[in-house]
Structure 1
C-alpha cells in the first residue's frame, strides 16, 4: 500500500512538473529576445513600422503588419512577441491534438527540440512577418482537416489567424493560395480526407486576407489598392541572372528606355540595385521605374522563355538549400534604427542598448546546428511521405507531410524565382518540416512502446 501511494505521489509530482513546463514554454520560445534585452529587429522592420506614420504605400511592406507593430509600441513591442509566442504554442498543441497525439510530455519535448534546433525561437523573437509564414500553413491545414475535432471558437480563431497571416506578406498569401488550389485538385482523389467545408473555409481565408490588406491600405493611404512592388522584385532577380542586361542590349538600339545608358553598369545583385546606392535612385526608384521594370519583365519572359525557365528552376533549387538562420539580423540595420528613432523615440534608448545594435549577434555557431537539422528534416519529410504512399497509408500525418512538402516547394518557387534565393525565406518555413518529422518519430516510438 505504501509503495502504491509513493508511486502515485511520484506520478502526480511528475505530472505537475510537466504542466509547469508546458505553461513556461512561451518564455524559452522568445529567449533570444530576452538575451538581446530587446525584440530582435531586421532590415525590413522599419519599413513596416513606418506605414502607420507615413501615409503612403511602399513596395512589399504590408500595412496590416505595420498596424500590428504599431499597437505593440507602448509595450516596447513585447506584446507582439507574446502574441507570436502564444500563437506558436497554440498551433503546435492544436496540431498534435487534431492528429490524436497530444500528450503533455510529448508536447513539451517536441517544443523544446524545436527551440533548440531550429530557427523558430529567433522568428518568434523578431519583429517581422516571417513567423507567420510557417504558422499559417499549420493553421490552414487545421482548418481543412480539423472538422469535428476543433470547436467553433477554434475554427473562428484559425480563420482569423490565417487571414491575418496571409495579409502580412504576399509570399505567404501566395503559398496559402497554392495549397488551397492543390487541395481542390486533390479532392476528387482523396474524397472525405479533404472535406469540402474545410477546403471552403481555408479558401475564404485568402479572400479575407486580401480584403484585410486592401482595407488597411485604404485606411492608411486613402487608396483602394494592393501593396506595390511585385514587378520590381521580379525585375531585380532577372537583373541578377543577367537577363535584364541581355534585354537592354537587344532593345536599346531601337527603344528609349531609362536604363539604356546604364546597361553596362548594372549591379551584380538585386539587393544592391533596389536597396543600395545604384542608378535606381537617380531614376526615381519604384515610382519612376515601375512601368519600365514591368515592360522589361514581361518582354524578357516573351523573348527568352528557355532562359527564364532554366533560371527559375535553378533559383527554386537554390532556395530549397538556403535555410540558414539570421539573415538580415546583424547590427547593420540603419533604416530600421532611423525609423524607430524618428517615430517611436521612447524606444530609441532601449533599442540602442540591445546586444543586436552593438554587434552582439553571431549566427555562425548556431547554423552549425540549424542548417544540418533543416536539410535533414526536408530529406526525412520526403522519405516519410514516400514511405506512407508506398504503403498506401493516407492518414492525417501523411496529409500534413504532403502539405508541408507543397508549402516548401511553393515558398521556394515564389521567393526564389521572384525575389532570388535568400536564407531568410527558407528558414522561416523549414522548421515546420522539422516539427512534422518529430511528430512522425513520436508516433513511431509510441507504436513501438505499445508493441512491447
Structure 2
C-alpha cells in the first residue's frame, strides 16, 4: 500500500516523539541506570527470587544485553506514544499525529516522563497501566478489539513487573467493583470484569515466571519486609520491641538499641541485618513484628500511615536514584554483561555529570499545580464545562495518585521516585483539559498556527 501524507506524518511524529523520550539516554551516552536495575538484570542469571524484583522485566533486560539495552527504552517510548495517541483519539483528538508529537514534546520539557522512559526500570509501566485500565473501563466502546486485548496484556505485564504497581491496580480494581454497583450504566460489569481479569492475569504471570526461575510456585518476596521498614521508620518497631523483649524467639531483641531510624539504612547499609541473614533470614520475623505492631499500636499505625501517604503524595521530584554510586548495578553488569562496562562507565551518569536541581525547579511546581488542577477538571467534566470524559479521566488519575501514595508511602516509605513514576499523568490530563478549554474559548478565532496544528 502506498504511503499517504497521513502515514508520513505519523512516521515523522513517532520518530520525533521517540527521540524526545529517549533523549536523556542519548545525552547520557547509555540508558539511565538505578540501584534496582541490577536486581532485575541478575534474576535470570542468578536463578533466585529477590525482594520486589519479579523476573519478567529482568527477562526483557537479559534479552537486550547484546544491544546494550537500547531496544528496551525504545520499546518503552513507543508504548508510551501509542497509549498517549489512543487517549487523545478517545477524547476527540484522533488522527492528529503532530498533536501527539506536540503533547509528547510538552511532557518531555515540563514533566518527568522522558526520565522514566529512558531508564532501565519498571516505573513507566505503572502510569501506562493506569491509562490502559481507564480506557478499558470508560472508553472501551471507542477501542478496537485488538486494542482492548492489548491493554489487558499490558496491564497484566505491568502488574507483573513490580509489587507496588500490582497493589495500585488491585486498589483501582476494587474501586471499579464498588462503582459498578452504583452506576452499572456508565460502568458495565463486563468492562469491570475485563479490567479485573487483566490484574488477575498479572498475578498468574508473577507466579508462573517465578516457577520458571526457582521451579516452585512462589510469590516475589518483599511485601511485609517493606511494611516492617515503614513501622521501623515511624518509630513503632522500637515500641513493639520494648513491649515484648526480652524474648528468645525474637532475634531483633538483641539489637533493638542499635536499630536505625531509617528503613533504607536498615535494608541496604546495616551490618546487623546482614549478619541476621538479610531478607532470607529475617522475612518471617519482620512479618511477625510488622503485624504485631499493627495489633499493639493501631492508632499510632493509622496516624503515621496518613502522614506518610500525604508526604508521598507531594514527593514527586524527578531523578531520585539517577546517581553514580549504584554499586550493586555496576557489579551485576560486571558479572553478567562485562562487554557493556566501557560504554556504561563512559556515560555522563557514571561521571557524576547529571544534576536535577534546575530540572526540578520546573518539574516540581508543574507537578504540584497539575495535581491541584485535577479536582477542578473533575468538577468541570461532571458539570458540563468540559466533556464528561475529561472528568472521568481526572477522577481515575486522582484515584491512582491516592492509591500510589498509600501503597508506596503508607505501606512502605515515601520516596520521590515512587511519586514521579505516575505524576506525569496529572500533567498530561491537565494539559489535555487546558487544550480543550482553549479551543472552547477561542473556537474558530484560534490563531492560524494553532488551528493548523490541531487540525493536522
TM-score by length of 1: 0.94
Instruction: Sort the Cα spacing of 1:137 and 1:225 in 2 relative to 1 into closer, same or farther, 3 A.
Output: same
CA contact (8 A) 2:156 2:201 kept: yes
Q: Give deviations 1:106-151, integer Å, cap 9, x for gaps.
A: 3222211100011100000000010111111001111122323111
Q: Say if 2:239 is the partner of 1:246.
A: yes
CA contact (8 A) 2:35 2:326 kept: yes
2:115 to 122, 131, 135: 122
Give 1:255 deviation, angstroms: 5.3
CA contact (8 A) 1:323 1:426 kept: yes
CA contact (8 A) 1:145 1:195 kept: no
CA contact (8 A) 2:40 2:53 kept: yes
Aligned to 2:40, the other structure's residue is in SS state helix
Aligned position for 1:268: 261
For structure 1, the 5+ residue unaligned runs are: 1-11
Once residues 180 and 107 of structure 2 are traced to their aligned partners in structure 1, the CA distance between those partners, rounded to angstroms, is: 32
Q: Say if 2:156 is the partner of 1:151.
A: no
Give 1:344 deviation, angstroms: 0.8
Aligned position for 2:330: 337
Aligned position for 1:95: 87
Aligned position for 2:450: none
Aligned position for 2:22: 30
Give 1:360 deviation, angstroms: 1.2
Aligned to 1:25, the other structure's residue is in SS state helix
Give 1:394 deviation, angstroms: 7.2
2:354 to 353, 361, 375: 361
Give 1:17 deviation, angstroms: 6.9
Once residues 115 and 164 of structure 1 are traced to their aligned partners in structure 2, the CA distance between those partners, rounded to angstroms, is: 25
Aligned position for 1:41: 33
Once residues 364 and 46 of structure 1 are traced to their aligned partners in structure 2, the CA distance between those partners, rounded to angstroms, is: 26
CA contact (8 A) 2:77 2:117 kept: yes
Once residues 13 and 279 of structure 1 are traced to their aligned partners in structure 2, the CA distance between those partners, rounded to angstroms, is: 65
CA contact (8 A) 2:236 2:293 kept: yes
Give 1:349 deviation, angstroms: 1.2
Aligned position for 2:195: 202
Aligned position for 1:373: 366
Q: Give deviations 1:363-420, integer Å, cap 9, x for gaps.
A: 1111101110111110011222234345597722211111010000000000001211
Q: Say if 2:182 is the partner of 1:170.
A: no
Farther off after superposition, 68-77 or 40-49: 68-77
Runs of 4+ that moved beyond 6 A: 12-19
1:60 to 46, 52, 61: 52
CA contact (8 A) 2:24 2:115 kept: yes
CA contact (8 A) 2:16 2:101 kept: no
Once residues 105 and 448 of structure 1 are traced to their aligned partners in structure 2, the CA distance between those partners, rounded to angstroms, is: 22
Give 1:51 deviation, angstroms: 0.3
Q: Give deviations 1:236-263, integer Å, cap 9, x for gaps.
A: 1111111011111111035541111211
Once residues 171 and 254 of structure 1 are traced to their aligned partners in structure 2, the CA distance between those partners, rounded to angstroms, is: 33
Once residues 403 and 352 of structure 1 are traced to their aligned partners in structure 2, the CA distance between those partners, rounded to angstroms, is: 41
Instruction: Sort the Cα spacing of 1:181 and 1:394 in 2 relative to 1 into closer, same or farther, 3 A.
Output: farther
Q: Map of 1:193-342 to 2, 5 A cutoff?
A: 193-254=186-247, 256-342=249-335
Once residues 406 and 394 of structure 1 are traced to their aligned partners in structure 2, the CA distance between those partners, rounded to angstroms, is: 19
Aligned to 2:323, the other structure's residue is in SS state coil
Farther off after superposition, 237-246 or 153-162: 153-162
Aligned position for 1:85: 77
Once residues 184 and 245 of structure 2 are traced to their aligned partners in structure 1, the CA distance between those partners, rounded to angstroms, is: 55
Q: Number of aligned pairs?
A: 441
CA contact (8 A) 1:106 1:442 kept: no
Aligned to 1:358, the other structure's residue is in SS state coil
Aligned to 2:93, the other structure's residue is in SS state coil
Once residues 126 and 393 of structure 2 are traced to their aligned partners in structure 1, the CA distance between those partners, rounded to angstroms, is: 16
Aligned position for 1:6: none
Once residues 232 and 260 of structure 2 are traced to their aligned partners in structure 1, the CA distance between those partners, rounded to angstroms, is: 8
Give 1:282 deviation, angstroms: 0.9
CA contact (8 A) 1:29 1:124 kept: yes
Once residues 66 and 231 of structure 1 are traced to their aligned partners in structure 2, the CA distance between those partners, rounded to angstroms, is: 23
Instruction: Sort the Cα spacing of 1:254 and 1:20 in 2 relative to 1 into closer, same or farther, 3 A.
Output: closer
For structure 2, the 5+ residue unaligned runs are: 446-456
